[in-house]
Structure 1
Amino acid sequence: MGVLTKAYEDLVASGEITRDPAQETTLSEFDRISEELAEPVKKGWFRKAPEAPKGLYLWGGVGRGKSMLMDLFVDVIDAPARRVHFHAFMQEIHAGMHQARENGVEDALAPVAAEVANSVRLLAFDEMQITDITDAMIVGRLFEALFAAGVTVITTSNRVPDDLYKDGLNRQLFLPFIDHIKERLVVHEMVSPTDYRQTKMAGSETYFTPINEESRAAIRAVWQSLTGGKAKPLKLMVNKREVEIPRFHNGVARAKFHRLCGKMLGPADYLALAEAVRVLIIEEIPELGRSNFNEAKRFVTLIDALYEARVKVICSAAARPELLYIEGEGTFEFERTASRIREMQSENWGK
């Protein structure tokens, strides 16, 4: 029995997860990668890097368990591995390239790719999606360098490879990367009728008011249900600035209102956040008005970005959406925001 199959069966036996045929069909691919990575690496002065085992491109609808399986695999595999959100990884690459250029390196990508390749044998990316032209123009060379160095790549995505960077600027230059993905990764669709993320939230409240110990406890319970209490900071590089969300796991992020709207953040920051998460828990939204007009404007911009990206929003707030902003300039405009917040609480939102 392969390492992921055993770990999966143990979770089923303990009652932590429910057996899912769609998930089970992917286990053999993970087990194959584990077995191939377990083969000893022959080293020598003039020996080329060993060819990386063929990776895995696991795609399908939101909440089907793709990230859960990948996380479990990274936990149990006996090989140098790193699991990272794809957007955060690309921001790291851009930051590294910027530093290389500052140091006068002509090919700024080469040392950055080499540093990554020297640290791992397996890279596991969550939610691969290409929406930025700068990512699209370097990701092909980056992956080619990683593959050449013997790094195996596993990635999850909500899109089939052919839909990556769909309708993007100069997309024809990106098409060779799609061919490379198909050549070096097994493309597997996870087809399941069950959206486990929605199932966990089905019938549950997602907007809690007023702000008190009861609503705080409710938010903690939602977070525990969606993430198992696991969390790491999500760091996003936006226009050479770092934006950090304190808690993030498996597409779910959590932050207090002041962290999101009390600082000098703008549309680009909120768009990056909306691209990186599927569920956002916003805690302790205060009453809004003249006294915190700038924070209120940022909140409107944040909700617009999340709405357009169909991100699920869970809130604790001082009042119902319609009563959050009841005085001062912007009251009329906030009616649309309140309506959007209500719509984003619906059970089918984000599907």
Structure 2
Amino acid sequence: MTTLTDLYDERVAEGLLLRDPAQEEALPELERIRAELTKPQTEKKGLFRKSKPVEPPKGLYLWGGVGRGKSMLMDLFVESLSVPVRRVHFHAFMQEMQSELHRLRGEGVEDPVKPMARAVSDAVKVLAFDEMQITDIADAMLVGRLFEQLFDAGTVVVTTSNRVPDDLYKDGLNRQLFLPFIELIKQRLVVRELASEKDHRQDRLTGARVYFTPVDNEARAEIDRVWHELTHGNEEPLILHVKGRKVELPRFHNGVARATFYELCGQMMGPGDYLAIADALRLLVLENVPRLGRSNFNEAKRFVTLIDALYEARVRLIVSARDEPESLYIEGPGAFEFERTASRLREMQSADWGHPPR
């Protein structure tokens, strides 16, 4: 039987991972869950007594700083499972649940949380979340009842987070109503810190170019290489729901997204959209930024707003552009104001940008 430690050792031997003692210490908790889930899920009670479901294993809440390898460990865990599992970014999952809640209420369903939880638990045995965090009061009010019913249905939850459970929704509106969810997390999940001293994601970018000009074959090849290192070839669209509208990041994995300038700035987007994008990401690869000016003034304004949102959220940025930051916008209305954006683009190229984690 191949264990998670075996898989980890194989990846190290292949040169795909660097051995990290903190990561190795976290493997037994994930292996505990995997091993329990491979056992028969009903318990025989004798010839004349019905069998009953086996109590599901406790899940795991794995928290620690950015780039410590939490998502990589989750990849190994999901790969090892033989039961139905859904791997999803927590923010995207909650947006999906909010949309379903709105739909069911519109159909007159009196208590929509019950059918929502039932649909999820019927579809999967394990929910594997990336980056559990609560920033929205609507999510804070929903998540407690939803997860209580998921747990009661036997759904196993494994999640990563940058925050210890007690800091979830910290300083949020009506936070006292959210506190029972924190206690639920502590009861139903093993809480474990991944206390690695290394930021492996940052190490991948240390010394590497993060701003490419001109946009040529060499730049595209290097961005492709970095993207593969960050995602290992795993990607899917991320759909964010912002005030009833859908905002799509076409290529996404583990808090890392890739999009073109046109996809993010050539569409009708506003500050709320860019704030939602920044909230969902740790790193953005933005390609094919053109020269800006009178001819594409609206796109330029959106670009400025996007960079401001990424800067304030301390999201790492990799860019390919037609020119250096100071020469992207040299004429037309807004050229003077763009100097601040150019300065921010320069600052975001520094090796330590993105620290400390937000």
TM-score (norm 1): 0.97
210-219 or 280-289: bigger deviation: 210-219
Aligned to 1:293: 297
* Matched position secondary structure for 1:253: strand
Distance 2:105 2:15 in 1: 52
331-340 or 2-11: bigger deviation: 2-11
User: Deviation at 1:63?
Assistant: 0.4
20-29 or 7-16: bigger deviation: 7-16
User: Deviation at 1:39?
Assistant: 2.5
Equivalent runs, 1:1-351 vs 2, <5 Å: 3-42=3-42, 50-351=54-355
8 Å Cα contact 1:49-1:150 kept in structure 2 = no
User: Deviation at 1:330?
Assistant: 0.8
* Matched position secondary structure for 1:192: coil
User: Deviation at 1:15?
Assistant: 1.8
User: Deviation at 1:48?
Assistant: 7.5
User: Deviation at 1:291?
Assistant: 0.5
| Identical amino acids, percent of aligned pairs | 64
Number of residue pairs aligned between Structure 1 and Structure 2: 351
8 Å Cα contact 1:49-1:148 kept in structure 2 = no
RMSD across aligned positions (CA): 1.7
User: Deviation at 1:218?
Assistant: 2.0
Per-residue CA distance 1:275-333 (angstroms, 9 max, x = gap): 11100000000001111010011111111111111000000001111111111111111
User: Deviation at 1:270?
Assistant: 0.9
- 5+ residue gaps, structure 2: none
* Matched position secondary structure for 1:150: coil
37-46 or 134-143: bigger deviation: 37-46
Residue type of the partner of 2:15? G
User: Deviation at 1:2?
Assistant: 6.2
Residue type of the partner of 1:42? T
Distance 1:169 1:47 in 2: 46
C-alpha change, 1:327 and 1:78, in structure 2 (3 Å) is same
C-alpha change, 1:304 and 1:214, in structure 2 (3 Å) is same
User: Deviation at 1:237?
Assistant: 1.2
* Matched position secondary structure for 1:145: helix
* Matched position secondary structure for 1:246: strand
User: Deviation at 1:51?
Assistant: 3.5
Per-residue CA distance 1:34-81 (angstroms, 9 max, x = gap): 122122222899987654311100000100100000011101111111
Per-residue CA distance 1:250-292 (angstroms, 9 max, x = gap): 2210000000000001111111111111000000000011110
198-207 or 234-243: bigger deviation: 234-243
8 Å Cα contact 1:280-1:312 kept in structure 2 = yes
Residue type of the partner of 2:17? I
Residue type of the partner of 1:55? G
82-91 or 220-229: bigger deviation: 220-229
Distance 1:213 1:15 in 2: 27
Distance 2:319 2:114 in 1: 43
C-alpha change, 1:184 and 1:287, in structure 2 (3 Å) is same
Per-residue CA distance 1:111-142 (angstroms, 9 max, x = gap): 11110010111100000010000000010111
